[in-house]
Structure formats: C-alpha cells, structure tokens
Chains A and B, each alone.
Chain A
C-alpha cells in the first residue's frame, strides 16, 4: 500500500510539472456552481515554502494516527532485541516514514482539454470505419512525455484528448489501484452515501489514486468532500493525514475558515489557529502583520528532536526530573503557555475584524482562556512547591 502511494506521488509530481507549463497559458476555469472550485491557478501559492510550512504545522504529526491499525494481507509480527541507540535509529527511520506518508497531494489548476491537430491529411479520408489510436510505448518514458495520437476517419492526425490518453496509459502501464473505468463510488449517488457515512479518508485516498490532480473530477470530488467536512465539522478525521493540508488550503482560499478555527480553538491548538489565520491573510494579502507573529512563534519554539521526543514518550520513563513530571501531569509546558499568550491576541484580533461567526468564536476563546489560566496557575503552583524555577 505504502509503496503504491509513493509511486503514485511520483506520478503525480510528474504530471504536476507538466501542469506548471500548461497552467501559464490557461486562464480562469472556475465555474459558478455549488461546489467551490479554484478560480485562479492555486499552485504558486500552494507550493510556496511558507505556505507549505504552515500547512505541515497545522497537519500535525501524530504517530498513533499515522500508524494506526489497518488491514494488511500479511499481519505477522516481528520482534527484535535492541539497545537504546538502535531504538533511537529505528524511531528516526519511523518518523521519516511518517513524514513520507504525510506528503500532500498537490493543489493545481484544472486542465482544459484542447484539440491539437498535427496534420490534416484529407487524402486519407475514409481510409477506415474507425479511428486509430497510436501510443508510444517506449520503455522508461514519463507518462507526460508519452505521445498518444489519434488518426481520425477523415484523415486528421491529432493529439488524443485527455480521456483517451489516460486510458491508453492505464492500458499499457497500469498504475496499481487505478481502474480503466471510473469506479462507481465516484458516481453522484454513491459518493453522497460515502459522504453521509463520513468515509472521508476512504474517498480521498481512492480519489488520489484514480485521478490526477489536474483532472476536473479531482477538483469536484475533493471540493465536495471538504465542503461536507465543513458542514459536519469532523475535521479531526483528516488531521495528521496527507489531506489535511489541501483541505486547510481550500478553506483559506475560499475564506471559510471559521468552523475549522473554532475546532482548533476548542481543541486547544492555538498555535495552529494562529497559523490558519496567517494563511488566510497570506493568500488574500489582507494584513501584513502575520509575518511578525510567525517569526515570534519560530523564536519561542525550541528546536527539538522529534524522534527523541516520541521515543521518550514511548518509554514512559519514570523520569527523576520533577519538571517533566509536572508537564506530563498538566499536559503543557512553559513554552506552550508563552505561545498561547502570543497567539490569543492575534486570534482575537481576527475574530473582531474578519470573522463571520463572531459570537461562537468569542465564546470558545473565552472558555479556552479560562481553562488555560487555571492550568497555568496549577503549573506555577506545583513548580513553586517543588522549588523548580
């Protein structure tokens, strides 16, 4: 499964490069419908390093979620004996694998199907009852470099439309998990059933395999899923998966982040909430002061080794350090409290200026403020009692 995904990514990236070239020539393709679509090319904004960093931070890396139990053909268990160093190495590798799994599918513009005629040989008109499709099946070519042309019955030689090209590629170089015909679950009525059952991950994972990011279906289906999630407010299903970033980007692009923001505040992910607002400001060039706060967050946040942290967590060491004991009891560190102090005013500023669901958000902020104040008091009290600065 994993390998397949990686392969798929490689494929996506290949097509993505081709799209960059194509995107510059095509104009607006947005259609006015119930499903929100990108009206401009979102790719430059999406691939921007700052955006990527924000999206990755918001996605969060929860190992329990990434490596949650799934059905596999071989569910055997292997045991190994290890020293601390070996274990640390193993954790590092595992974190790398986790990061790989969180690699986001690209958000690019929809590609338009254009008729590109190579030559018009009217002498060949009526040479056959059917048109001929000619595919270049040279070994080792990228799918995007592979030429597929059609000789029409009237003698015209032209590049094959996208649909035929995709079918030919799948026919000669099948991609595991992709079927030649579109699976019926993507038909309207079945998709609606899947959405109603909240099988968002299932839909998105299959969609990523079945469609390329520049295909219209990719856009409509993902948009439908994101909008449905926004209605049911089940953002946590996608958290710590590769689809959380594109979803957040989608909401920020279409200026409907309030529900997601509310969810983040309620779950005490205040840093993520601030990042979400920053993303919104960035995408729409609203308030330039967001850069400051991001810088400050970066400064406060210690550069910690993720693998070591996870390892410590796993070992659940009865640590002799009182400081760590207090932290694990309350669930927050001194740094977390400082970050909260930094993020809360920024969030409140957004709520007062731009938010659509003001009352709800204000209430949530107030509640989380009180809870954190209480936690802080407790934290300081215990620290003082133990004589820890």
Chain B
C-alpha cells in the first residue's frame, strides 16, 4: 500500500486557479450581459449573475467534497454509475419535461436535472474502467464492440430526446480511443469524410464526381507499377461507365444526371476493383474501394442533407457555408453574434459598455452566446485571454494525464480533455460563425448550475486521481 499523502498539498493548484479565473470571467460577463438599471448589485440573487454566484460557491464545495472522496469509490462504482445514467436517459424519454419539442429534463421538486450532463461523466468513467482492463488489445473485435457500445448507447438515447448538441459531444471520446491505441486511420477518415461532406455540400455534384474520379485515377497511376495496365484500366473504366450511361439514356432518361453519373462511376470503379484483385496490384484495391466509398458517400451527404435533416438544421449549415444571407431570418443569431464580437475591436468597449449583447440583440447571451459579451467588451485581447486559458487548461490536463501511473486515471483524464475540448470548439466556433448553431455551453463560463457543476465534478475527479497518483501501486 502507498503512503498516505495530504491531498491538499498535492492538488494541482495551477489547474484549480485557471478554473477559478474562468468561473470569475463567466460571472462578471453574465453580470454585464443581463445588467440593467433596476438591478445594479452584482450579488442580487433574483438575477442570473446572482444565481451564478450561488452556483459557483456551491461548485467550490462540490469540488472540495470530490477531493475528499476516496478514489476507490469512482473505480468501484463506475459501471454502476454508467448503468444508472443509462436508466435515467431511458426514463427521461418517458417522464421528462418537454421543452422546445425535446425531452431532456427531469423536473424534480423544483430542481431541473439533465441526465445527458451526467452521461458525459458516466461514459468517461465507464470507458476508463473498461479500457484499463483490456491491456491495450483495443483492436480485438469484442473489445471494439464493447467500447463502441459504451460510447454510442448514450448517443442513441440522447438523439431520441432529441438533443443533437449533447449527442455530438460523445464523438469526442474517439480522441481517448486514439490515445489508447485505436488506429490513426479512424481519425484520418473522420477528417477526410468531414472534408468530403463539406465539399459535397459546397460543390455542384457533377464537379464533385469529376474531382473524385480524377484524384482516384491519379492515385491509381501513382500506386500502380505498370503504366500500360493503368491506361488499360482507364479504358475499361470509361467503357463500363459509358455502357451504364447509355443504358440510362435509353431506359430511364428522367433519372437525375448526378445519380446516373454516380452509378456509372461506381460500376466502373467496381470493375477496376475486380481487375486489381485479379492482378494482385498492391494498394490498388484500396484506391478503387476508396473511390467507390467516396462517391456513394458524396451522394448520401446530399441525400441526408435534403431528406433527413430538419429545415432548421439545414439552414444552420447553409449559414455556415455562406449560402444563406438573410440578416433577419435564421442567420440572425450568427449575424448579431458576429456584429457583437466584431464591434469589440482590439481592446473592447470596456466592462458594462457593450451595446450589442444587451437588449436581446444577441439571443441566449448569458448561456450559449456568452463569448459575445467577452468579445465585445474586452475585444480581441479578451478573446485571446479566454482562448489562451482554455488552451493552457487542456494542455495542462494532457500533461497531468500523461503523468498518471494508473491507466484508469490517464484514460479518464483524456475523457475530461475530450469533453472540455469539444465544448470549447463548438461553442466558440458557433459564435464566430464557423460551426453551425449547436446549443452547448462554454465550460465554466456560460450561465447555468447544471453545466458548471457537471464540469466541476468531472474535472475534480480527475484532479483527485492526480493528487493521489503516488498512492497507486500495483
């Protein structure tokens, strides 16, 4: 057994300090955002800033309580806690209060509880527990399956509420898997498909298909050894595609031209796939397979965009892509948010001097759009400070995670990092108009007890592990 170590001297006070600074920035920004003549005291608990202060103080007590809890508790109860959260997520679908057409909240004795907030914590714990027992054999099919289940079960349940914003957060856990040995291809393909989706929405289909076929051929010629074979394969591709196109022309000319082209290209590509398999050309099956997958994916992006997404989700994406420019319509939020941040200039207008973030020009200014107030009143300098704090916090947490001796603590630490990071990226990306509007809070800064407490508990469980890392001997 390890030595007993005084927890208070071993806590990473630097992280605690950064966290406190963020809470303070959030508090005064909320004060500024909802400030009016009638309620001038920053301690007025009838107003949001007063309530935020109460929640901050409560969060400090919660943090202290977490630090005094034995870490074994988290280890032993991580699966139980996960199961309990899943139960809550199921229950909220039946007994939840419906707000804005989604059932995300429990209303219990005047207290609102959002199970999705706890699900992030529970998933991080369960994931850490499971991965720390696999002894790095992540690519074992059974392990992969269980890992995916742990992550995507809550996603599925949260999508049923439906709450797209919260469910997206869980995709960040892939970062954790990557750290624990998941092949880099997963992240590579995620980025690739992200770019492909963007291009598919931005570009006209025919150009897109031409581009894909062209790049695939370029890749084909590079990986294929024999020029002769490449030229022949190209001819085969053209012949097969032409035959498919001719069949369309004769039998079904009313089929949209992009569908015709995609089917033709996929048919040609499949032919190439068969040839490359027969001739055993190295890498060629991968290129051909990739081309087919990319074509089908391109088509499905448009299909999903036009047929599956809700109109408001479509228009949010359109706004980010710059297709919609209607300053009074759906892009109103983004536009007002950008005006607020942009009008801040280099040094900002000064504390309480912001004009855009008041009077409802910016919606949700104390919750999801709190970064507008910071950008407006403190300018680029203020934005830089807040982003700098987040970068510092995240890098510091990576450092802390890496110095853990127990795989559980390290994996859990990366879980915290992933969740914090995706919140920051989506929230700030949204306020400056590079990410569609997804309503999730900025950690430690946005108004709201649930969000502050959830992030505090998550972070301080990790700090507790970190403080006690010397105890762990196995």
Q: Do A and B come from one complex?
A: no
| B→A interface (CB under 8 Å) | none
